[in-house]
Every structure is written in structure tokens, then in C-alpha cells.
Amino acid sequence: YLLNGEKLFTGNGPVADLVAVSATVLGEGGPKVGACFLDTSTPGFSVGTRLEFMGSRGLPNASLHFDDVLVPADQVLIDPESDQLPFLVGMVALLGRIYFTGAPAMAIARNSLAWSREFIARRSIDGRALGDYDEIQRTVTATLADVYAMESAVRWSLLGSGLTDRWFERFATKNLLVRGAWRIVDRTVSLHGGEGFETVASKNRRGAVPVPLERAFRDARGLRIAGNVDFQLDNQLGRILLGQYYADARTYADDGTQGEPGPGAGTSAAGLSPANQEHARAIDRLVGELRRFAVGLVRRHPDPEQLYAKERTVVLLGRIAGELFNAVAALARAAAAGTPAEAVPAGHQELADVHCAEARHTLSGLFARLEPDAEPDHAHISRRWLADGGADQLVRH
Ligand SMILES: Cc1cc2nc3c(=O)[nH]c(=O)nc-3n(C[C@H](O)[C@H](O)[C@H](O)COP(=O)(O)OP(=O)(O)OC[C@H]3O[C@@H](n4cnc5c(N)ncnc54)[C@H](O)[C@@H]3O)c2cc1C
């Protein structure tokens, strides 16, 4: 194969000896996506300008150029059955995404937790310890519960070493981790006030505690883009979910059930506190609601492309699926934590409770947006503004 073109944004690309390049392969049956593996000493390969990101400054990145690069056929993987990347290559990428974006997200989250504790411990405001204030206590529990939920999602996803295990959850976990890290670091910046916005160099100059929050904040933002932009991953997850219902549509009754008992997923409440049992029942009902809604959509849209064009609906379904999975993962972890006791900074039941209480608020908002009573005409408003030439219009009116 002859590889031609430019590849942007590849992590470690300018220092790599071996690169994996996904490329469009033209053929008789239409374009396909192939995975090419090549040595960077191959003639025609060159590194272009270095790219500089807002964060992740330790990650070498550059534009890579391919000018008639000859790649032997046995170094190119193509799925003969589909136009997508070969399934197993996709599974490697899925797992890789958790390691190269999820692991730093987890580190940012846990560091933010430690920095929060250190800051609260050394500050008092108006004669009261900072940790005595209601809003600060809620900030603490929100971060603790976010870290707990993130850990629960990643543990569930990586349980079992099989490459194709729990791939739906692995897909959902990337967004859960990077969004969790973003929420946490944003909250921690506010908690630290001026110190949150201040660079380490400045803190060092005046002898303040050199917490590198500003760097964590910038790094966390990039994690929501690397491995694909967050809303696009929701979109893809929503399509995967709907694809399943398209495949099975005929096996569902109108109420979304497949002949199994109860309306939901049958989430077990064993080993849970009363508050978490209630959460488990509520989540179970929402799983049933999601299924009924998805089955209804699939029935009303015989052509999947017509449905997928309604991107916001698909994105919302992806987000709901992710939130439901995370709530179930946190509850399952809490239920299993009785023996042997696993050390967490607060009680398992309490942390799962805080997470699920918040997740249910988020989920009711997401479900409400799925079927709004009336909606502004977004297509019309944006088209008119874009056609009119943009920003001046806003200033003038
Ligand atoms: C720190 C960092 C590290 C990275 N590391 C790697 C790496 O190692 N390897 C690698 O291959 N890539 C890497 N990337 C690239 C990253 O995967 C891409 O930036 C990301 O997938 C978005 O693609 P893009 O930048 O080409 O945006 P585009 O695809 O050009 O998208 C531009 C905009 O259009 C939107 N858009 C695209 N399609 C649709 C649609 N159907 N509907 C609505 N909106 C849409 C996008 O969301 C975005 O807002 C990295 C990026 C960063 C920031």
C-alpha cells in the first residue's frame, strides 16, 4: 500500500520508532478504514511542525507527513467484512484510550482530592474553620463521590483481562473519567480561590504552597478531546446502543421488555443501605425507561440514518447510558465491599449514596431533554446567524 497525507495530533508521534496509522483504503467495494503499522525510518515519512497544546506539555506532538510511503501488505489490517477498522484493532484502541486518557484523569481527580483536603485544613474564614461551612462540606463530598464513581467505572471495565470483555462499558468509561476529572479540577480551582488560578511559578516566588492546580486544569481539558471529543463519543455510544435495538427490535414488546420479569434491569439491592436500595430501584426503573424510549425510536425510524441525523437525541441516549452504568457500577462496588473491607476515604455506602443522589438529578435532566414539550428552532437560528456573517449581528442587536 502507498500511504499519502498528513496526520495531526498523534501523541508521541515525533519521537516514535513505530507508528500505527488509521488510513482510508480505496478499493472496488468503496472506501474502508485500514490500520497500517510502519517504521518511521521508512522512506517518505517525515515529522513536520511541532504542535503545542494548552496542557499535556510533556506529550511530544507534531504533524506527521506521509509521502508515497510504501507499507507491505502484511503490515496493514483491513476487515474484509466491514468498512470500519478491524474489530480487534478497535478493541485495542478502546482499551488504550482508558489507559492514556483515563489514567491521567484518575490522577488529576485523586490529586485534586488531596489538594482540597490540604487547603481546607490550613484555612479558616471569618474565624471559622473552612471545613465547617455547608457549601465546603458539599464540595468535599461531591469530589469524594466523583472519585468513587470514577474508580467504580474503571474497575468494572477492566475486570477480566479479555480484549473484548465489557467493551460497551469500556467505551462509556472514557467520558465518565475525563468528565469526572474536569468537574473535580474545576471545583478544586474554585475552592482554592486566587490560589487556584495562580501558577506554580508565582506561588514559588511568594513562598506559597506550590499546588500545581493550574496545570491540572489545563491537562484535564485536553483529556476531553484526546481519543475524540466528548460529545462525539456520546454520539457514538448512543449509536451503538440504538444499533443493538435495531438488531433486536422485533424481540421487544411495546413496553420495551423482552419477556423478562419487571420493567427494568433487575438490579439487585442485596448488600446495600436503605438509601442505596432506593437508588437501585430508581436506577432500575430508569434502565427500563431508556429501553422503552429506544425501542419506540427504532420502531418510528425504520431507516437508522434518519434517526442518527437527530444528533442531540443520540447524544442524550449515550449520556444516559453512561450515567446509568456508572450508578450501577458504584452501587455494585458498595454492595460487594462488605467483606473483606476495602479501604476508601469514607464509607462505601455513603459515597455510593452521594453519587447516586446526584446522578438521579442529572438523569432526570437528561430524560426531560429527550422529550421537550417545545423547543426553539436551533437549525433556523444558527443557519440565519451563520449566513449573516456572524458576530457583528450579535453586537448590533
Ligand atoms: C492532547 C491530545 C492528544 C491526542 N493524541 C492523539 C493520538 O495519540 N492519536 C491520534 O490519532 N489522535 C490524537 N489526538 C487527536 C484527537 O483524537 C482529535 O483531536 C479528536 O478526535 C478530534 O478530532 P479533530 O481535532 O480532527 O476535530 P474534527 O474532527 O476536525 O472536528 C472539529 C469539530 O467538529 C465536530 N464534529 C466532528 N464530527 C461531527 C459530527 N458528526 N457532528 C457534530 N460535530 C462534529 C468535532 O466535535 C469538533 O468540535 C489528540 C488530541 C489531543 C488534544
Fold match, 2-77 / 87-223: no
φ, ψ at 271 (rounded to 5°): 80, 10
pLDDT of residue 266: 56
Give, in order, the Cα–Cα distances in Å from 29 to each of 26, 42, 82, 320, 354.
Answer: 8, 29, 10, 36, 52
Give the strand pairing for 76-77 and 32-39.
antiparallel
pTM of the model: 0.93
pLDDT of residue 315: 98
Instruction: For the chain, give every domain's residue range.
Output: 2-77, 87-223, 230-260+273-373
Q: How many residues does the chain have?
A: 397
Residue 280 grid cell = 437501585
C-alpha to C-alpha distance for 326 and 173, rounded to whole angstroms: 8
Ligand 1 atom 36: residue of nearest CA: 232
Give, in order, the Cα–Cα distances in Å from 145 to each of 10, 13, 102, 184, 235.
Answer: 33, 36, 17, 10, 26
Q: 207 CA distance to ligand 1 centroid (A)?
A: 40
* Buried-state track 85-117, b at ≥16 Cβ within 10 A, e below 16: bbeebbbeebbebbebbbebbbebbbbbbebbe
Give, in order, the Cα–Cα distances in Å from 234 to each of 79, 195, 307.
Answer: 25, 34, 15
Q: At what angle do helices 348-370 and 134-158 cross, to 10 degrees?
A: 90
6, 57, 229, best to mutate for ligand 1 pocket (most atoms within 8 Å of CB): 229
Q: 41 CA distance to ligand 1 centroid (A)?
A: 27
C-alpha to C-alpha distance for 70 and 332, rounded to whole angstroms: 50
Nearest in space to 318 (alpha carbons), one of 228, 257, 192: 228
Q: Is 63 in the pocket of ligand 1 (CB under 6 A)?
A: no
C-alpha to C-alpha distance for 175 and 177, rounded to whole angstroms: 5
Ligand 1 atom 4: residue of nearest CA: 226
> Strand, coil or helix: what is 269?
coil
Is 87-223 a CATH 1.20.140.10 domain? Answer: yes
Nearest in space to 283 (alpha carbons), one of 329, 239, 248: 329
Nearest in space to 115 (alpha carbons), one of 55, 178, 187, 57: 187
Q: What is 2-77's CATH number?
A: 2.40.110.10
Ligand 1 atom 44: residue of nearest CA: 232
Q: 221 CA distance to ligand 1 centroid (A)?
A: 13
Q: Per the omega criterion (within 30 degrees of 0), is the bond before 43 cis?
A: no
pLDDT along the chain (397 residues), means of 10: 95 95 91 95 96 94 97 95 91 92 97 98 97 98 98 92 90 98 98 97 97 97 97 98 90 70 57 95 97 95 96 98 98 82 73 98 97 92 88 57
Q: Is 10 in the pocket of ligand 1 (CB under 6 A)?
A: yes
pLDDT of residue 137: 98
Q: Are 352 and 279 contacting, i.e. CB atoms less than 8 angstroms apart?
A: yes
Q: Is 296 in the pocket of ligand 1 (CB under 6 A)?
A: no
Q: 62 CA distance to ligand 1 centroid (A)?
A: 15
DSSP 331-345: HHHHHHTTTTT---S
pLDDT of residue 29: 84
Give, in order, the Cα–Cα distances in Å from 384 to each of 310, 311, 374, 388, 391.
Answer: 20, 20, 20, 6, 12
Q: Are 366 and 372 contacting, i.e. CB atoms less than 8 angstroms apart?
A: no
Q: Taking the CA atoms of the chain, what radius of gyration do you get in angstroms?
A: 24
Q: 7 CA distance to ligand 1 centroid (A)?
A: 12
C-alpha to C-alpha distance for 90 and 165, rounded to whole angstroms: 13
Residue corresponding to grid cell 432506593: 278
Give the strand pairing for 2-7 and 62-70.
antiparallel
C-alpha to C-alpha distance for 181 and 158, rounded to whole angstroms: 19
Task: Please report the atom of ligand 1 found closest to the CA of residue 232.
Answer: 47
Q: Is 232 in the pocket of ligand 1 (CB under 6 A)?
A: yes
Nearest in space to 2 (alpha carbons), one of 24, 19, 18, 33: 24
Q: Is 311 in the pocket of ligand 1 (CB under 6 A)?
A: yes
Q: Where are the alpha helices (DSSP H) in the chain?
A: 87-97, 103-122, 134-158, 167-191, 194-197, 200-205, 213-223, 230-248, 274-300, 304-308, 311-336, 348-370, 378-387, 391-396
